[in-house]
Structure 1
Amino acid sequence: MLPVLAITVLCIATWASALNDPLSDLPRFGTPLNNLTVSVGREAVFTCIVENLGPYKVAWLRVDTQTILTIATHVITKNHRIAVTHSGHRRWCLHIRDTKETDRGWYMCQVNTDPMSSNTGFLEVVVPPDILDDSTSTDMEVQEGSNVTLRCAATGTPKPKVTWRREIGGTIAQSNSHEVGEGSVLKLTRVTRSDMGPYLCIASNGVPPAVSKRIVLNVYFQPMIWIENQLVGAYEGQTLVLECHSEAYPTAITYWTRPSNETITNENYKVETIPKGYEINMRLTIKSVQPQDFGSYRCVAKNSLGEMDGKIKLYRIDRSPTMRRPSNRRDSKKMWMMEHSHERNATGMRDEPMSKGAENDDEQIDFQSAADSSHRHCRLFSSLGIAAIAVILADCLST
């Protein structure tokens, strides 16, 4: 009540002073008082321009609470966050430091003329979004085929907009082909393993920064196994890789059994599991296939919801002739000579006698044997007297 009385006395004194000088001009405001928008915690500064202030005084008031904040250069309110500055009695500034949401409202720059003149402006205090953990969903684990509701509660000024996004990308079931769902509640119907993973609840209201919360959805299902090749052929001594693909959550325990139904631990085998999310690639390497390795192999995946296995049958095949190595030194030389002769004929080159250094006893025996064999065949055809092969006999006799 005392501040209001002080303002009244001040107004009367100033009015009396103005009467003594009837030629003086009354004060007028240079520009309207601007509205302000500041983020919570920042400083808000209202600026009031008064032309020809003269003997009059400028006061700042909070309109909605009818509180006098300052008179001239004096701070009246007990709020330590309020301050006043001026420049040449023309520019008067009201400072509100460390703004709070409760500072939102109308403020008045008042000059104690008769009648009183004033200028008003509105202070908007905006608040960045914040997600309320108590009212927001946490990580969830559900059975495949269940319905799931995810909630995200956010506050802020203006009211935040809530959107949902999958952290790894992809479709959100509720929003069909769209990657983003909107609203504080996200409902997923009959979830499958493809819906598993982290979801991001994002709150934004135009006041930086936007905030998000990560909610992980895990979907339980029993193991499944599929095999690309269930029948595999191999020859003895071959290195072979058998593969099974498994899906399960919780993560399955996996192992292989050999044809004797024993769990594989032999050093001749190498067992690998390559996980990727809820998928596991099971790989069995047989370092050198032995006779006892032929038969049926099982890959097994087991978790708390069930067990599944797949079978691969390994059967024996003969080594391809093209894969056999030369059995001795003579075979190697014959193969080289055949290839060498073929290359020379293809380029039109004439055969030349081999140097003595390149010949050896084995090769001479091979050529002599071939010549003797040719003459024997010719004598055989001659003794038979077959007219149909007369031309061939003539060639043989000429040799």
Structure 2
Amino acid sequence: MAARTVWMLCALLVLLLNECSSVNGHVVEKREASDEYDFMGDDPSDDDTLNDAYGEGEEGNTENIVIVTKPQVYNVSAGSTVILECNVEPKGNSAVVQWLRNDNIYFLGSMTTLTDHRIKLVHNTSMAISNVTPSDEGEYKCVVTQKKPLTLTHRVVVTSKPNILDLSATNNGRVHEGNRLVLNCDVSGSPPPKIVWSRQRKGSHDNERLLETDGVFSLNSVTIEHVKPEHSGTYYCYAFNGVAADTRDIQITVLYKPRVHVHRQETNTALNVRTELQCSAHGEPAPYLSWYKDNQLINEGVINDDSHTPLSTLVVVPKSDSDFGTYTCVAINSHGRHNSSVELVQRPVVEDVEADGAKVAWKVHSHLPLEAVQIQAFPFGIDESVSQNPSDISVSLPQESGLKLYEMSYEISSLPAGKYEAIVKAKNSKGWSREPKPVILNIVEQSMYIQRSSVFRGAASMVTGSTTLLLTTLTYLLVRKL
């Protein structure tokens, strides 16, 4: 088949050459016959020469084609339709227009090799793209094929709202205390979205933005080294690009061993008096709480007043002195254990000691009658290795008796000016209270009150009396001389 086609083309070429030879021969004969009539008759005119220079013969008057559309940047939202214009003049011409992208020909005149039915030729020379996607972004060229080809370049910028494709965290958001936490927020959109991170800590209602001091930020991720229990909570990824915004959140749980807290380290009570000992614990997962006395398990179980803070209450009614002593609350979870103790005592318990200048205020718990209350004051700032005797100040016992809680205060006036550390102690039949932490007294020197006005009044009285006596004497002498 191919050989036959080649043969036919060769035959056609021979016929054309013969025809040209016949025509040329006829023209030569005609010129020779007419030479004797008009020697200059066949010379071309100036107009003919100009037309031939532009490739135009006597039978046509075709003008050069011009692209009248200017280069543009088309900002198109994803899913919409864009028409890339390429208007030429003169209109109605038979110009062949090509559309290219990355040197790939989309259209050559009306012919195309595209299988994408979203792209069509409109108005003979323009091109339309429907249901635009981000992959359509780029440069498109309109080329007019002629002796001097013309090219028009358009740019298509596809804008699309952010879309968070995935928000992930190390170990699905369950990280052991002290380990590294990495959060990734994969997002699409055009222009490329910016990302902002924030978090709402566990048990809080505040949503706070993550700062440079909170972690290391890199593109669409944030890394927090050495996580702590307070890093638990809800983390948010916000993506925005000026077109729209998107957000997604993820729960982060920091796993750690329990931390136990007793509400009072020392509790005063008496025989046959009902007393409650309380402890709470933090931990992840939530710990299991138990009570021990003298290393013996006496109670186990958890009362959950708060889903985030397990709370255990132990009820004790002492029947003998052996029921007093140290009670220990133990918390256990899969990451470890922790404990804290409370002393159940009959001696007084002094707490909430405060100082204001030379005045001291405090509270005393004692089910048994108080026998003595004392303030011990030590000069502040003296080397502890140096032996020093405190100033013992006895405080009058409260007039009310039979109370379980006494609120007392005392203003010290017996000490010289200076700064002191003061300790408050109380005693009942079971002994002295355990010494609480000292408070600082700041005693200033009291200045003497001088009634200057009385002195002035006395002096004024003396001056007035003297003046009266002098005037009386002078009057008497003047009368005598008269």
> Could you state the TM-score of these two structures normalised by the residue count of structure 1?
0.55
**TM alignment of 1:1-399, pairs within 5 A:** 22=61, 28-50=66-88, 52-57=90-95, 59-69=97-107, 71=109, 77-86=114-123, 93-111=126-144, 115-125=148-158, 137-146=170-179, 148=180, 150=182, 152=184, 154=186, 156=188, 161-168=194-201, 169=207, 175-176=212-213, 181-201=217-237, 208-210=244-246, 212=248, 214=250, 216-220=252-256, 222-234=257-269, 241-256=276-291, 263-264=298-299, 272-275=303-306, 277=308, 280-284=309-313, 286=315, 290-292=317-319, 295-296=324-325, 297-315=327-345, 317=367
Q: Which amino acid aligns with 1:119?
A: L
Q: Deviations over 1:22-60 (max 9, x none)?
A: 4x8765444414222335554332233445413344735
Distance 1:263 1:121 in 2: 84
Higher helix share: 1
Q: Which amino acid aligns with 1:307?
A: R
Distance 2:178 2:305 in 1: 27
Q: Which amino acid aligns with 2:115?
A: K
1:61 Cα offset (Å): 0.4
8 Å contact from structure 1 (residues 223, 302) kept in 2: yes
Q: Which amino acid aligns with 1:305?
A: H
CA RMSD in angstroms comes to: 4.7
CA gap 1:18/1:154 in 2 versus in 1, 3 angstroms = farther
1:284 Cα offset (Å): 2.0
The number of aligned residues is 292
Distance 2:261 2:291 in 1: 14
Distance 1:305 1:111 in 2: 76
CA gap 1:179/1:153 in 2 versus in 1, 3 angstroms = closer
8 Å contact from structure 2 (residues 75, 158) kept in 1: yes
Say which structure, 1 or 2, has more relative contact order (CA 8 Å, 6+ apart).
1
CA gap 1:240/1:31 in 2 versus in 1, 3 angstroms = farther
Distance 1:63 1:77 in 2: 12
8 Å contact from structure 1 (residues 111, 117) kept in 2: yes
8 Å contact from structure 1 (residues 84, 94) kept in 2: yes
CA gap 1:17/1:79 in 2 versus in 1, 3 angstroms = farther
CA gap 1:202/1:137 in 2 versus in 1, 3 angstroms = farther
Q: Which runs of 5+ in 1 are unaligned?
A: 1-14, 324-399
Distance 1:199 1:134 in 2: 10
Higher strand share: 2
Report which stretch shifted further, 97-106 or 129-138: 129-138
Distance 1:19 1:42 in 2: 50
8 Å contact from structure 2 (residues 215, 223) kept in 1: no
8 Å contact from structure 1 (residues 149, 185) kept in 2: no
The sequence identity of aligned pairs, in percent, is: 21
Q: Which amino acid aligns with 2:250?
A: R
Q: Deviations over 1:112-166 (max 9, x none)?
A: 56544442202234566666769974425444333x1515374645555555433
Report which stretch shifted further, 36-45 or 229-238: 229-238
Q: Which structure has the larger Rg over C-alpha atoms?
A: 2
8 Å contact from structure 2 (residues 166, 187) kept in 1: no
Distance 1:238 1:93 in 2: 97
Structure 2 residue matching 1:98: 3-state secondary structure:
coil
CA gap 1:84/1:273 in 2 versus in 1, 3 angstroms = same
1:251 Cα offset (Å): 1.9
